[in-house]
Structure 1
Amino acid sequence: MELRKEVLPMTRSEAIKAFFFKSVLPVIVALILYCIFKSACMKNGEIDYVWLWILCGLPFGLHRMCLWIVPGGGSLGGGIALFALNFIIGGVIGGFVLAWRLIVAVWYVPLTVYRLIVG
């Protein structure tokens, strides 16, 4: 006996909804974050892309961190430094997540066209 998973084609409204949530929305969020943080990352008239990567990734990475470094020893300076390090690590993780979402957004453009033509 063979088990087959039947693939149902998407309706036009489902394809457009998926396109909006997977392609349009991440690009709009990335552009808004870029516009917000671009001025904070300017040094001598040039953009520091590493800090822009970290700052734009913060909303995507902080909640994905599985481990927070908790300061010990009672030093206020060390505690603040580790708190900042947590945010930097979260921003780097979020930068990769944001890049992945933008790659998926680009992939969904031809996929949606295909779904609208076939379905």
Structure 2
Amino acid sequence: MECSPIGTVHTPFETTSEAPRQGPHSDAEGIVDVDPAYREGLTGFDAERVVVVWWADRADQDVLTLDRNADRGVFTSRSPARPNPVCITECTVVSVDPAAGRLRLHGVDMADGSPVVDLKATL
């Protein structure tokens, strides 16, 4: 399996522990910078909401049970700490600049500098 980042997200959170537990419960805004090779994928983007698929690159990948509740495994949670830290956050689109490859989003919960794997516009 191969997966390469399409860009990077910039948020006010330096670490995953500073980030809110879920983006929809956050008033924070962030910017997704899409790498030049993938900017054409923003052509015609006019969605009001987008699912950001991102990689929690600083998360502990050896965790299988929750720190706050050892009776629950990581697959019962949205914790970024998991064997494959693939995360999803549905955000509100504030603005899009396809030429610059930039999406300004409301409701982010990613750590600053996290790799973005995909963007999925919601209808």
Task: Classify the TM-score, shorter chain.
Answer: under 0.3
1 or 2, which has the higher helix percentage? 1
TM-score when normalising by structure 1: 0.26
Query: Rg bigger for which structure?
Result: 1
TM-score when normalising by structure 2: 0.26
1 or 2 for the larger relative contact order (CA 8 Å, sep ≥6)?
Answer: 2
1 or 2, which has the higher strand percentage? 2
